[in-house]
Amino acid sequence: MNDSSWEAPPRAGYWGPPDQGPGQGATPAGPAYDAQDALFPSETQPMPIVPDVPVSGGDQDDDRGATRMGGPLFRDEPPQEPMPSAPQPAPAAPQKKSAGRDLGAAIGVGVGLGAVIIASLFIVKAVFIGVIAVAVVVGLWELTSRLEERKGIKAPLVPLAVGGAAMVVAGYVRGAEGAWVAMALTALAVLVWRMTEPPEGYLKDVTAGVFAAFYVPFLATFVALMLTADDGPQRVLTFLLLTVVSDTGAYAIGWRFGKHKLAPRISPGKTREGLLGAVTFAMAAGAVCMQFLIDDGTWWQGLLIGFAVAVSATLGDLGESMIKRDLGIKDMGTLLPGHGGIMDRLDSLLPTAPVVWLLLVVFVGSG
């Protein structure tokens, strides 16, 4: 059977019997009409769609809702009951702000460290120097370990640890001159110690080593310098209290009222409101400490020292945040539950120590 044996479909609009359709000679003849087009039209005309129109007047069946579709009356199906909508989930309760750390552990560790520091500070000064040296060595270990793990930088720990502890002791025994000499010798020891290994990476390793020597033990030496004064324990206590109060004020005000980011690319959690809280708390604490703890100190000097502490503590915190962000870590260590590592507690103390030491020398002397 070939294509010519198929009957041509009825022409659109033709409603007669099949034997009278276009296939039986209904197609007009003549050159203006192509038989192929007649048999297989290129464009099929769509059947008109007649919308349902409600019947008006006497044609409308009020009881059954009939509609008229171009002629006779057709009955619609009974109206459907609306589907019950799915129950909407209850709106989630607003989440409370979280501190992000175990506050119980943080408070317990903080109280324990404070007790050790206060006891050693006011009982035997030499013991407090030992506490500083231990903190410096542990901080250097954390810093050099993270540098090697994350960046492949091998800052030599042995000369840093020995030189760092010696730096703190030299600052207490020989003053600022002893601290500078110990710093220079530590840097030289780092350069020599690294020569025992292959030269690849020598420059970055010794650069990191000298940076670590300055950042941790040298800055910590200024705490030992404060301790050498006649009212040394009171000066160190003032330095510690102002730094802790500054951090506490920044945390409390920033957590409760913080909306405007201070440095979102460095530390997204810090806010301008938190900085204002740090300044306010530190200035108030500075006025009290200078008036009642420091010999010959006055309240207005405490206001200035408190302001300087708030700024230096914030910058120190941002500085270590830059280091940790570059290394891709949250904390420098896990030694202190709720706090992270030793370096996570020293970040604001280290840069604040020389600031407080200098202002106290300017206001009341080195005494």
Q: What is the pLDDT of residue 54?
A: 46
What CA–CA distances, in Å, run from 302 to 237, 310, 332, 353? 14, 12, 32, 15
Q: Give CA torsion, residues 358, 359, 365, 367, to 10 deg.
A: -70
* Global pTM value: 0.71
Task: Output the six-digit token pair for 24.
Answer: 């039986």
317 DSSP β-pair partners = none
3-state secondary structure of 53: strand
> How many CA atoms does the CB half-sphere of 366 hold within 13 Å?
9
Among left, alpha and beta (phi > 0; psi -120 to 50; other), residue 47 is beta
pLDDT of residue 39: 41
According to the model, what pLDDT value does residue 55 have? 43
Contact of 259 with 274, CB cutoff 8 Å: no
Distance of alpha carbon 117 from alpha carbon 233, whole angstroms: 10
How far is the C-alpha of 184 from the C-alpha of 167, rounded, in Å? Answer: 10
Q: Rounded CA gap, 14 and 52, in Å?
A: 25
Q: Which helix (H) or strand (E) holds 217?
A: none
Q: What is the pLDDT along the chain (367 residues), one digit of tens a residue?
A: 444 434 444 444 444 444 444 444 444 444 443 444 444 444 444 455 544 444 444 444 444 443 444 444 444 445 555 555 555 555 555 454 554 556 676 677 778 778 888 888 888 888 999 999 999 999 999 999 999 999 999 999 999 999 999 999 999 999 999 999 999 999 999 999 999 999 999 999 999 999 999 999 999 999 999 999 999 999 999 999 999 999 999 999 999 999 999 999 999 889 999 999 999 999 999 999 999 999 999 999 999 999 999 999 999 999 999 999 999 999 998 887 766 889 999 999 999 999 999 999 999 998 7
> Helix crossing, 349-364 with 232-257: angle to 10°?
130
117-120: Cβ within 8 A, 24+ apart: 117/240, 118/237
CB of 345 closer than 8 Å to CB of 339: yes
Which residue type occupies 263? A
User: Which 3 state secondary structure label does DSSP give 307?
Assistant: helix
What is the pLDDT, as a whole number, of residue 40?
43
Sign of CA dihedral 223, 224, 229, 232: positive
User: Which of 197, 201, 169, 200 lies closest to 185 in space, CA to CA?
Assistant: 169
Say if CB 227 and CB 128 are below 8 A apart.
yes
Domain boundaries, the chain: 121-228, 231-366
SS3 of 36-48: HHHHCCCCCCCCC
